[in-house]
Structure 1
Amino acid sequence: MRKSWAEYKREARKRERDEQLARERQLNTSVFRKAFSDFFKEDNRTGFGSHYLILGSKWWDFSEDDGIEPLDPSEIDEDDQTAAFNSLGKAEVVLSVLEDVVDTLARDISDFKRSEIEARIDEVKRSGLTGPNSKASLDELERLKKMRHNLNKRVRRTLPQTKAAG
């Protein structure tokens, strides 16, 4: 049976995603040489552990109509504490905290990759852009600059609307 245009397009998109994933994996060894853990230690990044002090125990359980129980009550502000008195309020606070976690982790990963790309750009510039490998060096420099430019872009993820007030 003959494939429809939509099936061909779906397969092409899957191939593109697979190729992009393979290129990203290859970068983990060629461009991103320093361990991510070393980056965290050197830059004194705290990560997002403090966010989970807000969530506390059983933050994922919405089967009972109880509020949020933070591990450290000083980490949560008073407005969030009063809003999270039942399971719906708790779910909204959890969503807000998890959005902060995603934003923090994404920023950390982006900063790490940007610093590694900058280090590779400096290496290419130090190696010299003249000589028999000058074209390859220039191509590598342009590729690294494009990667750095892509990291400066913001990505938009769409989520279902959770605010009902009109």
Structure 2
Amino acid sequence: MHRYKYPYDRYNRFHVVKVNLPIAASVLFLSRHILTFLFLGIAFSRTHIAINDAFGGLFDPVYMLSDIPALLVFLAMLARHPNSGRPARIAWRLGPYLLLVSAVGYLVLLGRQIGFGPGNFGWAAWAMILGTATAIGYVFLSPYARDVFREFPDAALRDDAKRK
């Protein structure tokens, strides 16, 4: 019999805490440059896209470098299953720190591209900075988020998962 810290509906069939919307949104937001590039590249592969000047500097391909750690967490989030390998388990357990590296990397690249003075940032840049700070704040300050990143489905459940 399992003892649950949270209501039963917050657990998945492997008895680990489910990823909630704020965690998923944080991971997606911190890997937005790569994901946007992939989705727009797939959707508009045969047409030319013109990005408004207000957002042009925010979608510079250099920012994809800062998304790589967050993308690892995104892939580990999709792989939260007993059959997942060791890399997914490690990436998930290190998830908050990988997201922090991604956020700091983005802020450094943003400052390098636009300049570090607050007067250099437009409203869109400030929105991205606020979103980045909010995502990291939730991941590190929420007890629920800490519990989610501590848990990964046990590999011993593999046989049970195959039968279902």
Q: Which has the higher contact order (CA 8 A, sep 6+)?
A: 2
Larger Rg: 1
**Is the shorter-chain TM-score for this pair beyond 0.5, marking a shared fold?**
no
Structure with greater helix share of residues? 2
TM-score range, shorter chain: 0.3 to 0.5
